[in-house]
Amino acid sequence: MESPVLKVENFCAAFGEHNVLKDISLEVTRNKLTAMMGPSGCGKTTLVRCINRMHELVPNATVSGKMLLQNEDLYAMNPILARRKIGMVFQRPNPFPTMNIYDNVIAGYKLNGIKMRKGDLDAIVEGSLRKAALWAEVKDVLYRKGTFLSGGQQQRLCIARALAMKPEIILLDEPTSALDPKATSHIEELMIELKETVTILLVTHNIAQAARTSDFTAFIYLGELVEFGPTQKLFTVPEDKRTEEYLTGKFG
């Protein structure tokens, strides 16, 4: 059993006095999709933002516990390096409006001033856009600004942008909640395809989405990890009563 890509141990996070995450421990397996679900405000977005160290940008934010990425302590390294190893896709698609599609994909390299040969960059752009199932649609308009794309296409562009950095893990924070149903199903298909080669941690408040796409599921409620396990098992024979109530729609 190989070691997990991401290991969270006894992790707590707070905004000042307000404890948002209480003693979370879980593992994210390589090349599998792990979903985190739970009602709004339960702390799943906070957990994800702690992984790529965005949480600490808020004043008064504190954390404790351990997060290991490939056995390296995420909190012992320079946060900028940490963020480069982790890809993130946000709720609302946010391509950079002043850059064209090509530059958006390699934005991580461009903005960081990482110099590469044009040929290498071209390869990265094509590779990432293919993986994000967007290449066919934009290959002729790579040098146009991305704002004319539809919501779903913009989100896939953001996924390509994250993939281009070749991260150890990709965090998707409710990536379809701002999209229409058709675009949503495209993204879900994409995720199912991607997880063969990319480790994905998906945050969603859509139970059905978690069931459809994930291999492992974590149920978070009021900042606590209530239950975590293989999706099949959690959805059919949940161990915790709260999980069962959530799945049957009693709250959330």
Mask 202-231, x = binds another protein (CB under 8 A)? ------------------------------
Helix-helix angle 151-164:181-194, to 10 degrees: 20
Q: Which of residues 103-122 bind another protein (CB under 8 A)?
A: 107-108, 111-113
Among 92, 130, 166, 242, binds another protein (CB under 8 A): 92
Q: Where are the beta strands (DSSP E) in 188-248?
A: 200-204, 216-221, 224-230
d(CA 48, CA 73): 16
d(CA 29, CA 27): 6
Choice between 98 and 236, CB closer to another protein: 98
Alpha helices in 70-216, H assignment, sequence order: 79-85, 101-105, 107-111, 118-131, 135-138, 151-164, 181-194, 207-213
* Burial zone of 244 (CB within 10 Å; 0-12 exposed, 13-18 middle, 19+ buried): middle
Which among 18-26, 34-42, 116-124, 133-141 is the span making contact with another protein, rule CB under 8 A?
18-26
d(CA 227, CA 233): 11
Choice between 11 and 246, CB closer to another protein: 11
Residue 225's CB: how many other CB atoms inside 10 A? 21
Among 1, 18, 40, 97, binds another protein (CB under 8 A): 97
Q: Which of residues 164-193 bind another protein (CB under 8 A)?
A: 165
Q: CB under 8 Å to 76, separation ≥6 — which residues?
A: none
Q: Which of residues 46-75 bind another protein (CB under 8 A)?
A: 52, 54, 56-57, 61-65, 75
Q: Does 18 bind another protein (CB under 8 A)?
A: no
State both tokens at 5: 């890509």
Which among 14-22, 34-42, 180-188, 206-214 is the span making contact with another protein, rule CB under 8 A?
14-22
Choice between 113 and 249, CB closer to another protein: 113
Residue 211's CB: how many other CB atoms inside 10 A? 17
Q: Does 96 bind another protein (CB under 8 A)?
A: yes
Q: Does 232 bind another protein (CB under 8 A)?
A: no
Binding site for another protein (CB under 8 A): 10, 12, 14, 19, 22-23, 52, 54, 56-57, 61-65, 75, 78-88, 90, 92, 94-98, 107-108, 111-113, 147, 158, 161-162, 165
